[in-house]
Amino acid sequence: MTLDILRMVGFGGLVLVVGYPLGLYMARVFAGERTWLTPVLAPVERAVYRLAGVDPSAEMRWTSYASSLLLFNFACFTILYLLLRLQGVLPLNPTAATGMSPDMAFNTAVSFVTNTNWQAFAGETGVSHLTQMLGFTWQNFISAASGMTVAVAFIRGLTRKETREIGNFWADLTRSWLYVLLPMSIVIALVYVSQGTVQTLAGAVTAKTIEGVTQVMRVGPVASQEAIKLLGTNGGGFFNANSAHPFENPTPLTNLLQVLSMFAIPAGLTFTFGRMAGRMRQGVVIFAAMAILFFAGLGVIYGFEHAGNPNLTRVGADQVASAAQAGGNMEGKEVRFGIADSALYGATTTAASSGAVNGAMTSMTPLAGGMAMLNIALGEVVFGGVGSGLYGMLIFALLAVFIAGLMVGRTPEYLGKKIGPKEMKLAMFAILALAASVLVLTALAISSPAGLAGRLTQGPHGLSEVLYAFTSGVGNNGSAFAGLDAATVFYTTTIGIGMLLGRYLFIIPVLAIAGSMARKKQAPPSSGTFPTDSGMFVGLLVGVVLIIGALTFFPAYALGPVLEHFLMHAGTLF
């Protein structure tokens, strides 16, 4: 156990070591400054701009920034939708996948455009190589880059003064994938390949097992997709088993690299924010708040998983970790990874809006599963998705500043800018949109026969299955609790809508706030100003995130995971 804890603390250190320099690098990239990759990439960048007819120095107001983003994402959606519908007749289809049904194509296209990567289909059989590469891998880059543009535009809004302009969407988008996502993915993919992750254009290999049975194993361009799947907090695996599959995640090293890549950019962006705000401490407090929330959640998941199921102990099963066994609750986990790596992966993927999994969430002990769900429900701000984590957390920072800022006797201000009715309206709208989407869609599902039919289990665990699905969709996480049959028209449609609401009803207010904050004057800080770069602010921010999440979801969780937990201790299992 001590070793496990050391490993997790060590992971925290690694995130810092990777995130900090990456954050500074990104700050340079988005400012259009020279980096060590500029000599190689600048010609490509210029070519892209020339090809697209974009002037990267032309600044945009928030309205044109937002409409560019929406238009671009809509175009991506349309292409992906058509690709999914028509993949059966398109080339590069060695597994003979058929075209998707309209509702499934809608769900999948929305999923990959919104950086959710919820998969209601099985990756091995459901889609062609062309779809995997041209559709999914492309979207993995582009949806992540879209998130980064919003984060960067938001930072500009907070830090610029008395201007209407918050940057150029096309330039931010290009720089995101060209300077950040692409180079990192190439390096990471090569490491994966070196560790044995599959990378081929072939469809399957056939092997003869020792028992003499013939086994057909699906293969394909896995490593290349794996790199961006995690780096871009996408989470859509090549295989349905996702990162529990040995072809995706073969060794302990790849497992570590996977969790690390999920946090690299979200953590790095906090430092980008600090640098762009001209005061690194502002970024550090955001990082610290995220880290505290993450380790608290990880502690809960690890604690309950490590303790295992009391009913098994009662009937005489040995759940204590030893040299011979991993111990704890090993149901639904890869024996290769054990409790610690599975808990770490589970906590990271839910916190980071990634959705990649290396174990089954549904098999977790009730409160550990509930914690994973809460990680998402908090708004994907515990590092969160690429870009979305930062702007989500900054929205909470505005709220924290507002509630507590009044208490120091001044109009609340963040980074020297006053927060007025307009910003509050937009920020609260964004928070309300998330809470409302999850609650309403879940209530709808459990009140309708179509929704109830999808459950694998009755009772509180069944409620958790449904609640998790919508939480994951709206939070643009994409991980599944498993158990729920999400391939029905009801769920593909409702979850698809949830993903759209969760993404765009948040992004639009965020950009509007950016536009409104950019126009404001910036007052220099004084000792009378609410200090947003102190340890106290970290505590406050953590408190606000938790209390908003808790107040919104306490009743639902009481009837789901909490009830299940009590019932488990009373001897009832689901």
Stretch that binds other proteins, among 15-23, 41-49, 494-502, 531-539 (CB under 8 A): 531-539
- State the Cα–Cα distance between residues 500 and 493, nearest whole angstrom: 11
> What's the one-letter identity of residue 449?
P
DSSP strand pairing (214-218 vs 204-208): antiparallel
Question: What DSSP string runs through 222-271?
Answer: HHHHHHHHHHTT----SSTTGGGSTTTS-SHHHHHHHHHHHHHHHHHHHH
Question: What DSSP string runs through 194-217?
Answer: HHT--B-S--EEEEE-TTS-EEEE
Q: Using the rule CB under 8 A, is 408 a contact of other proteins?
A: yes
Q: Using the rule CB under 8 A, is 521 a contact of other proteins?
A: yes
Nearest-approach distance from CB 405 to other proteins, in angstroms: 7
- State the Cα–Cα distance between residues 545 and 416, nearest whole angstrom: 22
Q: Using the rule CB under 8 A, is 366 a contact of other proteins?
A: no
Q: Which residues contact 107 (CB under 8 A, 6 or more apart)?
A: 118, 120, 492, 493, 495, 496
Nearer to other proteins, 142 or 399 (CB): 399
Nearest-approach distance from CB 36 to other proteins, in angstroms: 37
Q: What is the torsion angle, in degrees rounded to the nearest 10, for the CA atoms of residue 83, residue 123, residue 11 and residue 298?
A: 110
Stretch that binds other proteins, among 33-41, 217-225, 246-254, 534-542 (CB under 8 A): 534-542
Q: Rounded to 5 degrees, what angle do the CA atoms 530, 536, 539 make? A: 125
Q: Using the rule CB under 8 A, is 215 a contact of other proteins?
A: no
Nearer to other proteins, 86 or 443 (CB): 443
Nearer to other proteins, 341 or 465 (CB): 465
Candidates 37, 193, 424, 456: give the one binding other proteins (CB under 8 A): 424
Nearer to other proteins, 141 or 490 (CB): 490
Nearer to other proteins, 130 or 419 (CB): 419
Question: Is the sign of the CA dihedral 255, 229, 468, 432 positive or negative?
Answer: positive
Candidates 39, 91, 316, 524: give the one binding other proteins (CB under 8 A): 524
Stretch that binds other proteins, among 3-11, 185-193, 263-271, 424-432 (CB under 8 A): 424-432
Footprint on residues 386-405 left by other proteins (CB under 8 A) = 399, 402-405
Candidates 142, 231, 285, 431: give the one binding other proteins (CB under 8 A): 431
Q: Using the rule CB under 8 A, is 556 a contact of other proteins?
A: yes
Q: Is 529 helix (H, G, I), strand (E, B) or coil?
A: coil
- State the Cα–Cα distance between residues 44 and 46, nearest whole angstrom: 5
Q: Using the rule CB under 8 A, is 531 a contact of other proteins?
A: yes
Across 405-417, b (16+ Cβ under 10 Å) vs e yields beeeeeebbbbbb
Phi, psi of 214 (to 5 degrees): -90, 130
Q: Using the rule CB under 8 A, is 190 a contact of other proteins?
A: no
Stretch that binds other proteins, among 136-144, 208-216, 359-367, 406-414 (CB under 8 A): 406-414
Q: Using the rule CB under 8 A, is 425 a contact of other proteins?
A: yes
- State the Cα–Cα distance between residues 530 and 534, nearest whole angstrom: 10
DSSP class of residue 134 equals I
Q: Using the rule CB under 8 A, is 279 a contact of other proteins?
A: no
Q: Using the rule CB under 8 A, is 189 a contact of other proteins?
A: no
Candidates 16, 190, 428, 456: give the one binding other proteins (CB under 8 A): 428
Q: Using the rule CB under 8 A, is 547 a contact of other proteins?
A: yes
Candidates 92, 122, 204, 436: give the one binding other proteins (CB under 8 A): 436
Q: Using the rule CB under 8 A, is 163 a contact of other proteins?
A: no
Q: Using the rule CB under 8 A, is 273 a contact of other proteins?
A: no
Q: Using the rule CB under 8 A, is 554 a contact of other proteins?
A: yes
Q: Which residues contact 266 (CB under 8 A, 6 or more apart)?
A: 233, 290, 352, 383, 384, 385, 386, 387, 389, 390
Nearer to other proteins, 49 or 429 (CB): 429
Q: Using the rule CB under 8 A, is 512 a contact of other proteins?
A: no
If we measure between CA atoms, which residue out of 193, 103, 46 comes closest to residue 492? 103
- State the Cα–Cα distance between residues 556 and 562, nearest whole angstrom: 9
- State the Cα–Cα distance between residues 185 and 166, nearest whole angstrom: 28
Candidates 103, 191, 529, 574: give the one binding other proteins (CB under 8 A): 529
Nearest-approach distance from CB 294 to other proteins, in angstroms: 22
Phi, psi of 184 (to 5 degrees): -65, -40
Footprint on residues 444-463 left by other proteins (CB under 8 A) = 444, 446-447, 460, 463
Nearer to other proteins, 368 or 399 (CB): 399
The H-or-E segment that residue 218 falls in is: strand 214-218
Q: Which residues contact 305 (CB under 8 A, 6 or more apart)?
A: 328, 329, 339, 342, 343, 364, 365, 368
- Count of residues engaged in binding other proteins, rule: CB under 8 A: 64
Strands, E assignment, 364-505: 413-414, 417-418
Could you list the residues that contact other proteins (CB under 8 A)?
Answer: 161, 399, 402-411, 416, 418-421, 423-425, 428-429, 431-432, 435-436, 439-440, 442-444, 446-447, 460, 463, 521-524, 526-531, 534, 536, 540, 543, 547, 550-552, 554-556, 558-559, 562-563, 566-567, 569-570
